[in-house]
Amino acid sequence: MKKIDEMTTSNTEMVTISRAEYDALRQELAGKTQELVGKTQELVAALLQNDWLLEQLKLSKKKLFGRS
């Protein structure tokens, strides 16, 4: 939390970085963005599978015990 507070208070200062460092940071950001997209897709697939499994469980309970 302290780090966030420090960042918000120092926004008025301008920092200059080299083009190489800027490009490296942009490339790192692009990699992290791709990783996030991949993880999001994995999460969506897992949630869909979870929904399907829950539905199968409900159907098997109805089949085993009948409608209540």
Amino acid identity, position 3: K
Chain CA centroid to CA 50, Å: 18
- What's the structural domain count of the chain? 1
CA distance 59 to 67: 10
φ/ψ region of 42 (left if φ > 0, alpha if ψ in -120 to 50, else beta) reads alpha
The band of 66, judged by pLDDT with boundaries at 50, 70 and 90, is confident
What is the C-alpha radius of gyration for the chain, rounded to an integer number of angstroms?
Answer: 24
- Tell me, yes or no, whether 48 lies in a domain: yes
pLDDT for residue 61: 86
pLDDT for residue 26: 98
Residue 3: pLDDT over 90? no
Domain that includes residue 40, residue range: 19-65
Residue 11: pLDDT over 70? no
Please give the residue that has the higher pLDDT: either 44 or 10.
44
- Tell me, yes or no, whether 7 lies in a domain: no
- Tell me, yes or no, whether 31 lies in a domain: yes
- Tell me, yes or no, whether 2 lies in a domain: no
Residue 5: pLDDT over 60? no
* Whole-number average pLDDT of the chain: 88
CA distance 33 to 39: 10
